[in-house]
Structures are given as C-alpha cells and as structure tokens.
C-alpha cells in the first residue's frame, strides 16, 4: 500500500492577529490567542501584529511576526541588513537603551517568580558599544552548490541552516566585515566542503581564526591560507580533532592577550573561553573590585575561575586568592598567567564544582569573600559550603537569570544571606542573553 503523503507540508502557513501583552524572559512577545499563550519572535509589548505560527502545542504556541500593524514607540530599524534571516541577533528591532531596561525587567521577574525575592536594589546597568563588540564567535561554514558559494556566518532564525549573509555588524570589524573574503578564500580550497566552522578570537594584539578541518589541507591550500594571513593581518590555525590538535599553519604565533584592570595581562589560546565583550568584561571586573573593596586581610575564593579573569585582578589587592576550575588545562594556564603577571599570592586547584567536592586542602580553609561565576546551570551544588568557608560577602556573576534566581533563593532562605544588590551587564547587545551580577552579605 502506498504511503500517505504528509499534506500539512504543502499547506500555507497559518497566520493570526494578536496584541502583545508583555515580554517573555527570552525576549519574545507574549500574547493570548484563543485563550492560549503565544510566544511571538520579533514582537514588542503594546504592539498589534500579524504573526505566523511556527509551533502549536496543547498549552501554548509559538510564532514570528510577519507584519506590524501598530508599532511600539520603542521599535527601531535594525542596524543589520541580514537581521530578518540571521539568528545571531534577536533584539535589533528594539531601541538599545530599551533592551537594557527589558533585561532588567527579565532579571527582576526571575527573582520574583523563581526566587520569591522582591524589592531588589539595582545597580546601574553596565553598557558599552552596541556594534562591533563581539571579540569571540564560532562561525558556521557550508559550501552550498545551489547558491554558488561558501556560506560563512550564523544559522538562520529558528533553522539549522546557515544564513546567507555578507557581513556581521556585531562582530568586531576585523572579521565582521570580511565574511565574503573568508567565503571566497574557502571556496578556493580543495577541502571547501570539509570545513564546518571557524572559531574567531580577537584580542588586543592579534586576530586568530581556527579552521576546523575534516580532511588534510593540500600544499596549495596552505599557500592560499598563508597569503590570506598576510593580506588580512590575521593568524590562521587548523584543528583536525580536539583542542590539542590546534596548530598554526605558518610557524609559532605569539600568545593572544588582552589587558584587564589592575595592570593584569590575560594570556590565552585561540580556542580558550574568554568573554565575548572585552569592554563589558573590564567594566564587570572593575565593579567586582569596587564592590568587594579588597585589602591584604582578605582571603578570597574564586569559583569557576577559568584562566583567572577575576582571580588575577583580585590578587593585585587581596591578601590571598584561591581559584578553582574543573579543567586541568585551564588551571595550568591560569598558573602561567599568574607567573607572567608576577603574582605569588594566588593558588589554583582543579575540581568539578557541579558535584560534591572532594576533601582537598583548599576546601577546608576559610575565605571571607567568595566570587562565583558559574556556567548556565548555576552553582547549586556548592552553595552549602559557603557557611563552612565563613564567607561574609558573596559576589555572584551569572549568564542565566533563572539559575541565579534559584540560587539566590537558596542563599537567602536557607543559608541566611541578604541580597544587597543586583544588576545587569549588557554583555550581548541585540540578543536576549542576560548577564547579571548579585551581591550577598551575611
């Protein structure tokens, strides 16, 4: 018997009209249609829009704006010609200053709904350039025969396919303005269909591009890449498997680096995790230093310390700083960073901070101040150690307001801390990502 064809695929998209009531924590507009909540990408509170359904479930639906019938006063013309198709940004239609206010509202709402915490004193938001701010990115690469070229960039909105873009306005111009050059370069390579991504790292002294390669480069490929290195003034690396296979295509390269507060230079590799937004990162570190008011009597614990982004500037003024991170490789290079910066009052340790901690020496010491900078999953597993460590001040840096709110509730309601202040840091303009900070005291 012949299979029944899925006729739904041939039907035109279903559209509807809605009035946007509020904004969800991911930046989408929220409306109600037929007594069902609908989350609509590209819509702002107060607007009347026509939208196209992209998903319909029993309790909610999702969609995207196709026409704005009544626009919000906060709506602006996107600054990128590719905004409608590229999924790299989701907030360009909202005035940049209003983006920050929206993120503050998202943070407060998460504290209320998840943490049951209200009447929060807010720091002034940390903000910086709205364009060209991204110094780190992972660009997708795809040779698309039907389009007659190699695509380099980000995925389409709500799609696994790469968007066809010519430039990126939020990427640093050293790369953001050269996407077509990279497309042309890869199009000349013998393995143009075997390069799935390019990792970008732009720092104070250089621009590094790591080409992920699934097959070896030919001699001609290497010649083309070396010529591009010289003309574009970039450093190109190849990566055939894991991070340990990253190597420069033309001899050894100087370490990447950028300056941090307190006369610290942070050195890192081309694929290491460092903050995307260098200017906001520096402002964030300064806020931490101003808040903690460190002196030689302070013993500080820096959890999820990475390469020493906070650890090293704090060590310039504190008595002793201990950094802990889950990666052996990161800790090795954090120690090297401390040595290069002449800091002897800092020690580093490897530990998985997402599970019960082993009985190591550093765990049994006292720290009067603790800084926590966890991944999106938060730091729930280590919070109960704070009273044992004698922490009087805890500064929590977060890239996920939901887990920050959850952890804040634990610290306030179970561990006896008071949340003194919180705020947002606009690390990712034109996106719905919320970077935040909160101070707890006991």
Report the candidate in 131, 171, 135, 127 with the shortest Cα–Cα distance to residue 153: 171
The number of beta carbons lying within 10 Å of the beta carbon of residue 5 is 8
How many angstroms separate the Cα of 433 from the Cα of each of 110, 131, 363? 14, 16, 33
Q: Sign of dihedral through CA atoms 17, 20, 21, 25?
A: positive
Q: Which tokens belong to 365?
A: 């010491």
How far is it, in rounded angstroms, from Cα 212 to Cα 204? 24
Report the candidate in 426, 335, 438 with the shortest Cα–Cα distance to residue 99: 426
* Catalytic entry in 89, 168, 203, 399: 399
How far is it, in rounded angstroms, from Cα 186 to Cα 194? 10
CB 315 within 8 A of CB 346: yes
Place of tokens 């101040």: 369
Active site residue 203: no
Q: Tell me if residue 337 falls in helix, strand or coil.
A: helix
Place of tokens 């050195």: 267
CB 85 within 8 A of CB 164: yes
How far is it, in rounded angstroms, from Cα 50 to Cα 66? 6
Catalytic residues: 399
């Amino acid at each position: 018997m012949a299979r029944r064809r899925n006729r739904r695929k041939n039907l035109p998209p279903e559209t509807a009209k809605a009035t946007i009531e509020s904004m969800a924590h991911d930046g989408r507009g929220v409306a109600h249609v037929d007594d069902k909540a609908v989350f609509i990408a590209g819509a702002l509170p107060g607007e009347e829009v026509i939208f196209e359904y992209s998903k319909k479930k029993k309790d909610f639906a999702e969609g995207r704006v196709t026409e704005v019938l009544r626009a919000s006063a906060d709506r602006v013309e996107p600054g990128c010609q590719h905004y409608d198709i590229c999924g790299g940004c989701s907030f360009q239609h909202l005035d940049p200053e209003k983006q920050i206010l929206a993120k503050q509202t998202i943070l407060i709402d998460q504290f209320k709904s998840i943490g049951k915490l209200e009447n929060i004193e807010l720091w002034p938001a940390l903000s910086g350039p709205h364009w060209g701010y991204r110094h780190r990115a992972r660009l997708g690469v795809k040779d698309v025969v039907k389009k007659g070229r190699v695509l380099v960039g980000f995925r389409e909105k709500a799609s696994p396919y790469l968007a066809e873009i010519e430039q990126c306005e939020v990427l640093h111009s050293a790369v953001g303005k050269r996407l077509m050059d990279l497309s042309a370069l890869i199009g000349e390579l013998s393995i143009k269909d075997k390069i799935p991504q390019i990792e970008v790292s732009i720092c104070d002294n250089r621009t590094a591009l790591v080409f992920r390669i699934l097959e070896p480069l030919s001699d001609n490929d290497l010649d083309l890449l070396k010529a591009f290195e010289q003309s574009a003034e970039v450093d190109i690396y190849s990566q055939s498997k894991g991070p340990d296979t990253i190597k420069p295509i033309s001899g050894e390269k100087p370490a990447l680096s950028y300056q941090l507060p307190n006369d610290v230079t942070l050195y890192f590799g081309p694929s290491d995790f460092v903050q995307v937004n260098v200017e906001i990162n520096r402002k964030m570190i300064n806020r931490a230093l101003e808040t903690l008011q460190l002196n030689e009597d302070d013993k500080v614990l820096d959890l999820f310390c990475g390469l020493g982004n906070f650890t090293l500037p704090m060590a310039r003024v504190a008595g002793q700083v201990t950094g802990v991170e889950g990666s052996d490789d990161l800790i090795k290079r954090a120690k090297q960073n401390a040595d290069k910066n002449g800091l002897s009052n800092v020690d580093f340790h490897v530990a998985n901070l997402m599970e019960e901690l082993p009985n190591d020496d550093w765990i049994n010491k006292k720290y009067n101040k603790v800084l926590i900078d966890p991944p999106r999953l938060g730091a729930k597993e280590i919070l109960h150690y704070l009273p044992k460590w004698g922490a009087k001040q805890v500064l929590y840096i977060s890239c996920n307001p939901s887990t920050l709110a959850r952890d804040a509730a634990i610290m306030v309601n179970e561990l006896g801390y008071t949340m003194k202040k919180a705020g947002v840091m606009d690390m990712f303009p034109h996106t719905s990502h919320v970077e935040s900070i909160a101070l707890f005291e006991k």
